[in-house]
Structure 1
Amino acid sequence: MTKTLLALALAGAALAHAPGAAARPPQAAAAIDAQGFSPERLKRLDAAIDEQIAQRQLAGGVMVVLRDGRPVVFKAYGQQDIENARPMRTDTIFRIASMTKALTTVAALMLYEEGRFLLKDPVARYLPAFANVQVARPGGGTEKPHRPLTIHDLLTHTAGISYGPGPAQAAYAAAGMTDWYLVGRDETLAQWTDRLAALPLQGQPGERFTYGYATDVLGRLVEVVSGQPLDRFIQQRITGPLRMVDTSFHLPPEKAGRLANVYGLEGGRLTLMETAARSDFIDGPRKLISGGAGLLSTAGDYARFLQMLLNRGELDGQRLLSPKTVALMTADHLGAKSGGDADGFGLGFWVNVRPGGFKELGSPGAFGWGSAYFPQYTVDPQERLVILFMTQLRPAGNSTLHLRVRTLTYQALVK
């Protein structure tokens, strides 16, 4: 199967569940090619997802496994709307939160490839509001940064910009900067970024990994350097060329019926948290575009984006990045500073540097990330593999399903 047929296979599977399509159970596998996987062992993946649904710990989801660009699994499970008995479909639309970060990172690196800036350039050269930034001291007060805040710091989350926690937490709270969810705010990205720049950093630039708004600031950098709003740049330069037709910062009303409900585990019980009717994503075009957490997408769309990265920057004749740039993205930039179970962090996501580095099944060179809504992805260049699980579960309680699907995929790979 050629890369172009990847689009046809994913699109065909989605169409199989479209309104008016021939009757077909939403849970049925849409496109299967063993590609070195044991069909018997893959049943463990189905069983784990189905068990969570049967125990009402999950409403539903979509699972995608690609090898060599060919769908091994592209399957919908459960329901996207329990209350109205609407089954999950392979073209269901999801809030992808922090999985937005990879697209904003690619957008910035496309400009980097055009020679617009160097990664070691000071952020203040392009965003002057950061020229006089201070750093909060753990014991109180502030101090000057030891060195300028750089674009590389934004890309690696070593900019000292959190989602609130840290020695500047009180200042963040006073400014309304303690929630990653920026969708629906009544200010522009330029205005929001200037307000953030007036707050102290939570640590010295480059000192440690601090997860937070750094990619939102990177999105503003894309706007300034490109001269385009971030949503337009991403549509024209990334989602358009990759034919990611359902990936956007705003959901048109005609697609509202495909937006999955958000459920959460409260006291161990699955509870409805948000419906399309109550979603900020369909109130109108976004005023504040969040490059860190603002996109909607489908499993098929996001799988195409991941396949582009696996192909070292190209898909279906559309080259977004050079192989050398993708190699830079997927190299370890932080080492011991990365924190967590992964032993490395690249530009936009964790990277696995050595066998056993993730303390789970995997391969050296694999990379990935996830979302506050519970989706998770892994791209494994060594095995030529994409693993993607899409769902809407927030809060997720003690569930580890989003991580177990990776193990259950790897254990089924026998050749």
Structure 2
Amino acid sequence: MTTFTKAGLERLRERMAAHAASGAAPGIVTLLAGGDGEVHLDAFGGARPDSLFRISSMTKPVTAVAALLLAEECRLHLDDPVSRWLPELANLRVLRAPDAEVDDTVPARRPITVRDALDFRLGAGMILTAEAFGYPVFLAAQKLGIAGYGPPSPALPHTRDEWLARFATLPLVAQPGERWLYNIGSHVVGALIERVTGQTLEEFYRERVFEPLGMHDTFFTVPAGKAGRLLDAHVAGEDGSVTLYEAAADSAWLRPPAFADAAAGLVSTAGDYLAFARMLLRQGEPLLSRRTVQTMTAGQLTPAQSEQAFGGASTWGLGVAIATRRSDLWNTPGRYGWDGGLGTSWWNDPAEGVIGILLTQRLQFPTENPVYLDFWTSAATAPAR
């Protein structure tokens, strides 16, 4: 059973309170959970323990769990071609090189599979370098208004079928299975879930994930009666200054999206996400089987792909990253989870039996965010030895 030291918890609270007071993150909620039901939930600045946060890419693990529920029921299989349900994605072409012109292509060597979409090796997605956003294929995607190539926003007007039709006009960046590329895979999984089930993502997630886990404050669209708990979102500048990114009172998350963003569209609370994290730490109980969770949290990438994507310190499973070596105080091998671009983060550490959740609304790359760095440093040193 993991317990936390009083000194470690106080150090965490002091750092978060200082960040809130400075305006670095006007609202912060932190949660550490250990064995035997021990939970330490704190709110700082303008946040309350039940404040609603745009959790951005912490949506991706939820989407993976939803797809794996269908796999357990044999409604799809990991190595099925997605074109069985998404015929728009059959017979795609592939760029000769990532920076090639969009008409400089060759045929795809094989179809995209469900596994490819979940482990982000479908051949489409973001290359997370500054120069890559100037590549012709990414400029073409932006011109088409295809969600998934920029900051999280559920406000784009395309329906699922429109999104698929536009996406299918673009060539893949790499052959299926060859390279880890970020984000777009979850959009494809979202479209797949809707086609397989005949339900919207909001309906299916509510029925099969949120209600069974008691997640009553997790939504793609914030209900009017709960809108007052949504925080403003902010963006950090290069000089560390923080300015308004999106006001809660006029948030896009208050209006139903044309096609829910399965990569980054959810709003949630620390308590709700704890329920989701505990389900995985309990090896799937009560949603998934133990073997399904073990598959989800096992690395799917080759060593070369992990090195290219994460510098060799982590790898990617099905909707989550998994730490593979101690690259920092908190990066314990076997630890799994993911971060959100608007300042949120969740990781489970099975070896320690610890769950950590950080919720802010500060748009910034996680390892450049001082709140993120101080939270995880403090969280790693808070458990008793």
TM-score, structure 2 as length reference? 0.90
Give 1:96's aligned residue: 55
Report the Cα offset of residue 407 of structure 1: 2.2
The percent of aligned pairs where both chains have the same amino acid is 37
8 Å CA contact retained: 1:182, 1:288: no
Distance 2:151 2:88 in 1: 21
Report the Cα offset of residue 246 of structure 1: 0.8
8 Å CA contact retained: 1:265, 1:396: no
Distance 1:399 1:207 in 2: 31
Distance 2:11 2:69 in 1: 40
Distance 2:151 2:167 in 1: 13
Q: Which of these residues, 155, 161, 185, is aligned with residue 184 of structure 1?
A: 155
Corresponding position: 1:158 with 2:128: no
8 Å CA contact retained: 1:184, 1:288: no
Closer, same or farther: CA 231–162 of 1 in aligned 2, 3 Å: same
Report the Cα offset of residue 381 of structure 1: 0.9
Give 2:316's aligned residue: 345
Give 1:405's aligned residue: 375
Distance 1:272 1:230 in 2: 29
8 Å CA contact retained: 1:154, 1:214: yes
Report the Cα offset of residue 396 of structure 1: 6.3
Report the Cα offset of residue 69 of structure 1: 5.6
Instruction: Please give the root-mean-square deviation of Cα atoms over the aligned residues, in Å.
Output: 1.9
- Structure 2 residue matching 1:76: 3-state secondary structure: strand
Give 1:116's aligned residue: 75
Range 126-135 or range 41-50, more displaced: 41-50
Gaps of 5+ in 2: 127-131
Q: Which of these residues, 68, 74, 79, is aligned with residue 41 of structure 2?
A: 74
Distance 2:232 2:151 in 1: 19
Give 1:41's aligned residue: 8
Please tell me the residue identity of whatever aligns with 1:113.
E
Give 1:128's aligned residue: 87
Corresponding position: 1:297 with 2:268: yes
- Structure 1 residue matching 2:324: 3-state secondary structure: coil
Gaps of 5+ in 1: 1-33, 80-87
Give 2:333's aligned residue: 364
Report the Cα offset of residue 46 of structure 1: 1.2
Once superposed, which parts of structure 1, at least 4 consecutive aligned residues long, lie more than 4 Å away? none
Distance 2:244 2:198 in 1: 40
Give 1:146's aligned residue: 109
User: What does 1:8-407 correspond to in 2, within 5 Å?
Assistant: 35-68=2-35, 70-79=37-46, 88-138=47-97, 139-140=100-101, 141-163=104-126, 165=133, 166=135, 168-177=137-146, 178-266=149-237, 267-283=239-255, 285-314=256-285, 319-336=286-303, 337-338=305-306, 339-341=309-311, 342-354=313-325, 356=326, 358-395=327-364, 398-407=368-377
When the two structures are aligned, how many residues end up with a matched partner?
367
Please tell me the residue identity of whatever aligns with 2:105.
T
8 Å CA contact retained: 2:2, 2:352: no
Question: 1 or 2 for the larger relative contact order (CA 8 Å, sep ≥6)?
Answer: 2
Distance 2:142 2:51 in 1: 35
Please tell me the residue identity of whatever aligns with 2:278.
Q
